[in-house]
Amino acid sequence: MTRTIRLAISTCPNDTFAFHGLLTGAVDRRGLHFDIELLDIEQLNERLLRGDYDVCKASFHAMLAVADEVVVLPSGSALGFGVGPLLLSSQPAATPRHAGQLTLCPGRHTTAALLFALFHPRSTRIEHVVFSEIMPRLQSGTADFGVCIHEGRFTWQQQGLSLVEDLGTRWEQETASPLPLGGIVASRRLDRETIRAVQEVIRDSLLFALADRDAPLPSMRAFAQEQDDSVLMQHVDLYVNAWTVDLGADGRRALDELALRAAAVGLGSGGRLEVWSG
């Protein structure tokens, strides 16, 4: 009897790139049937907290709330140097400093929101919106600041916005470790053999994409906010790296650092994230 795995990933280009082989059936699924949904990252975080999936992409910040219920898979993560969310403003030289100002974040449980809370605590009012709304809101003048992720990292200058701070650079300076944004978790409800098979399928799908980087473009275009292929591939170049193939020791240390810092400001459970080791 074929085992069905309820899998959810984000619509961002690094996920549709990495999962193209699985989405299209181009890699061996190890006898598993995957029921796949593609959602915005904060929708994924909320569904993770409800326990809706067997395997899903989520922000590492959200995972901290359910650390005892999931394991992080070694493959499929987005972390690295120079990958952080950007704090943007429509006004040059603006600084978040008082409650009369409004900052837009891409979801309460995103790592981007956690970074803003770590580095700019109690500085402004915060509103959580879908990431694609942030830059238009800044342009329209209905918000003062926005924590931008995904393709916004590459297009903010074209939109006439100003950089307040690269939150990823701040993380790197303070921790000397890569910034962990999001990754793939498996529910501890799954048995070890099933988790092993899922991990192998995801790794195979990622290696399939890396072997022919243009092949996943149709999957990437189908869900991206930005349709320019060069921007989509910039996204892949930035967020898909050696740590995506395997978190390794550096990735594990970065997850521990994130857990410690989140707990210190009351935004984590205090538990660490376990990376599945087989």
| Per-residue pLDDT reduced to its tens digit, 70-107 | 999 999 999 999 888 999 998 998 999 999 999 999 99
Give the residue, 2 or 176, on which the prediction is more confident: 176
Domain ranges within the chain, ordered by starting residue: 3-80+178-264, 86-175
* 103-132 residue pLDDT tens: 999 999 999 999 999 999 999 999 999 888
Annotated catalytic residue, options 20, 61, 109, 150:
150
The structure tokens 């390794």 sit at: 248
Element (H, E) at 165: strand 162-166
CATH superfamily of 3-80+178-264: Periplasmic binding protein-like II (3.40.190.10)
Asked whether the domain spanning 86-175 has the same topology as the one spanning 3-80+178-264, the reply is yes
Domain 86-175 part of CATH 3.40.190.10:
yes
Average pLDDT, integer, range 218-222: 93
Q: How confident is the model at residue 247 (pLDDT cuts 50, 70, 90)?
A: very high
Measure the CA dihedral 189/267/113/49, to 10°: 20
DSSP notation for 243-276: HHH--HHHHHHHHHHHHHHHHHTT-S-SPPPPBP
Active site residue 33: no
